[in-house]
Amino acid sequence: MLWDVLVDPARKIRIGNKLYFGQEDELVAEVIDNTTSRGRTLRFLFDGSYD
């Protein structure tokens, strides 16, 4: 699943970085592209249902 998002501070979020979400890092997203000066495209790495 790909998402275009705004990030702040953008200079610290680079292509190849992984972002971890949740109390136990159960959701991980990898930065795969820069879209605008503050935008990034993320690929979510998740084994399971998105429901």
Q: What is the pLDDT along the chain (51 residues), one digit of tens a residue?
A: 899 999 999 999 999 999 999 999 888 999 999 998 899 999 999 777 766
- Look at residue 7 in the predicted model and tell me its pLDDT: 93
- pLDDT at residue 50 in the model: 65
pLDDT at residue 38 in the model? 92
* pLDDT number for residue 17: 97
Q: How many other C-beta atoms can be found within 10 angstroms of the C-beta atom of residue 42?
A: 21
Residue ranges covered by each domain of the chain: 2-45
Please enumerate in sequence order all residues whose Cβ is within 8 A of that of 19, keeping only pairs 6 or more positions apart, or say none: 13, 28, 29, 30, 31, 42
Task: Please give the model's pTM, rounded to 2 decimal places.
Answer: 0.82
